[in-house]
A and B are shown apart, each in its own frame.
Chain A
């Protein structure tokens, strides 16, 4: 036993000294920080976009303008809700988040549905200022003032020499240099009244005869891609679709209102009908009475196992790869012979498993700690949401599941990879033997989303009974209260398989480590397994 510890201690110390180990440990928190940091950076640095609106029909300019105004108000609303959540006085955080979420969803839904009236009402009430007055009592005293986001879409004047009443084709020809970025617009500077140059982001051209292109259910549908039909939106940027989408929504609302009027229907009634809704409460029968309402946290609890499966996979891959290359190093250096003159093959194998297993656990603990530190020190509401997730995790029984299946998975796969390593002299040789194992390891990863959605379905149950998949699949199902038969049965099968795999790979290991030359064929491996030392 002392020898096992000595070997484990060396393996651990050497592994911890490698660059790869530290890259592995640091990568996770760095990704975490980068994701959050860049997200907020991107949101703040959204560029100002200039557009030109030419409405030859004279009917839709107000609709387009209102669409852009709505887009802007929506952003203000979003930012404002985030601001309130961040700087509110301490209350019941989960409830605040949940109800604020519900409110913002309602508002965004309304704005999406073309609720011009709702928007007008919000503006009539003083808009942002009114909301601020309402919210102030609930904010902490030291909260910084709310800074509304800049307007992102700004209408630019028509460049000189362009005739707004010319034929559409002609206008496009004239504006093309600006659209293609060859020429710059003279626009108002963002910080003062000085003029500066800016790119033309988009041209919205509404032809005079645009009403002829209105599509009605009774009409024979036109080819959708017919160029130039309806309103023309010209822009080189194909990815930022907020502007065209907002315009389309807003104009369609206007057209529908016109249709209501033409058919003698009261648009106000229609709007009221559209705003009528019946909420669907999501309830969980397995929760305690009075706690059945499904919140964000509950959903998270259901999905958390997927994260754990992924964690097991990543950590396992790292550990077994290290185990493999380390065994091959000892073999190709012939250090193994000195070691075997000092310790038994079993002691050597167990020492390796233990040492590298411990360094894998160290990585996971470091990840969890950095996750925790991130939650504690990162300002902002996203981190608070993460903190709630952490509470959910710690209060659930997922952690013991994770610890057990991590260790079981490690024991199972490390035994196999150690045996492979003992048979090969170079990593290149090992690769061909590793391929099938990697493929097998990929399967639980490929099915993990599916199994999370159908945790007690036939696929999940069958995979649970295959020992190579048990650690992953059972972890995946951990939150869904799998039948007791599955939990106990698969655990027994898994433990038996681990014992068998370690015993067999011990046999292969003790014969493989002293082998030289080509990796053996299957027949030879079978002979090794039968061999009695």
Chain B
């Protein structure tokens, strides 16, 4: 059996008539960085709260670090909630070491660890400052540090990147990578695809409480066929029947601009070589004004998979 730190089996949660999480199952192998993706209101936070046993699922079962309740292993878990807040009057190092002691760390060790973390992640000068004097972004970094100070096996970060500037987002990415290197498992939720793309080994996509996708980033990209965008004056029929081309869609049909340029989108097979297409175009004398081959981004996958749901939500 694979060594999974977390397994959810057919978990559901309802609030009255509203189903927040609907029959979700997934498993997270040890040592991975796992992304939790989904539009606002998809049920990410509810799922995380159930994982932590702050909420109880209505049905289904959860196995976390070999236990049925996170409460039994809470010293081995680190958690950063979605809404961030700290005791305003406490000193930065004191709050990190306080949360670490609540997780079972020895007082002196917790203090040493707090200063060590603050130094590593660029907050050394603020160690003695009060939390209320920090900016929002700095406060959030402090909170992330306080969640992971006790070196938990499983780290769960709910929207850790929101509200951070690009520089600090990078610092946080570094922290997550450091933890993965140290063998810790990291779960984080986000709706910014770039972070997931750069960091995650695997990801879970949920929308309206349902699981839409669960797998590696490569698997996710495979959901959308690769595309080639062509632009030329004239016709591209000679290449349409090429091997490896799954379909051709002409954009803006009958709506050519003044010099008669038309645009096509070719969906190509994963193994197909775009170089061959380009070669065929030259051989057939097609006057290309644009040849654009791109890998689908996670963003495209996201929009493709939940686009309609997200927009519906937006207009509701």
Contacts and interface: CB of A to CB of B under 8 A. Distances in A.
B77 A341 contact: yes
Nearest to B45: A337
Contacts of A14: 87, 89-90
A443 interface: no
A338 interface: yes
A350 B71 CA distance: 17
B81 interface: yes
Given A17-B89, A344-B71, A533-B56, A338 B83 contact: no
A335 B146 CA distance: 12
A341 B52 contact: yes
A340 to B, nearest CB: 5
Contacts of B101: 6
A332 B102 CA distance: 21
B147 interface: yes
A338 B74 contact: no
Contacts of B287: none
Interface string A335-354: 10111111110000000000
Contacts of A344: 71
Contacts of B89: 14, 17-18
B99 interface: yes
Contacts of B99: 338, 342
Given A341-B52, A341-B54, A341-B79, A3 B102 contact: yes
Contacts of A237: none
B98 interface: yes
B77 A337 contact: no
Interface string B61-90: 000000000110010010111111111111
A337 B81 contact: yes
B5 to A, nearest CB: 16
B103 interface: yes
Interface residues of B, number: 29
Most buried by B among A10, A338, A340, A342: A342
A337 B102 contact: no
Given A6-B101, A338-B99, A341-B79, A333 B86 contact: yes
A18 B90 CA distance: 11
A340 B102 contact: no
Given A6-B101, A10-B98, A338 B54 contact: no
Interface in A1-26: 3, 6-7, 10, 14, 17-18
B145 to A, nearest CB: 12
A335 B54 contact: no
A342 B102 contact: yes
Interface in B146-167: 146-147
B85 A333 contact: yes
Given A14-B89, A342-B102, A334 B79 contact: no
B81 A334 contact: yes
B139 to A, nearest CB: 10
A459 interface: no
Contacts of B74: 341-343
A202 B162 CA distance: 79
A348 B77 CA distance: 18
Contacts of A333: 85-88
Contact of B102 (A17, A330, A339, A514): A339
A342 B103 contact: yes
Nearest to A340: B54
Contacts of B88: 329, 333
A256 to B, nearest CB: 73
B87 A338 contact: no
Contacts of B90: 14
B54 A334 contact: no
A17 B74 CA distance: 30
Contacts of B87: 14, 329-330, 333, 335
Interface in A297-341: 329-330, 332-335, 337-341
Contacts of B52: 341
B111 to A, nearest CB: 14
Nearest to A348: B102
B130 to A, nearest CB: 10
29 contacts: A6-B102, A7-B102, A14-B87, A17-B89, A18-B89, A329-B87, A330-B87, A332-B85, A333-B85, A333-B86, A333-B87, A333-B88, A334-B82, A334-B84, A337-B49, A337-B54, A337-B81, A338-B79, A338-B81, A338-B99, A338-B143, A341-B52, A341-B70, A341-B74, A341-B79, A342-B74, A342-B99, A342-B102, A344-B71
The 6 closest A-B pairs by CB, nearest first: A333-B85, A334-B83, A337-B81, A341-B79, A342-B102, A334-B85
Given A333-B86, A337-B54, A339-B102, 9 more contacts: A6-B98, A329-B88, A334-B84, A337-B49, A338-B80, A341-B54, A341-B79, A341-B81, A342-B103
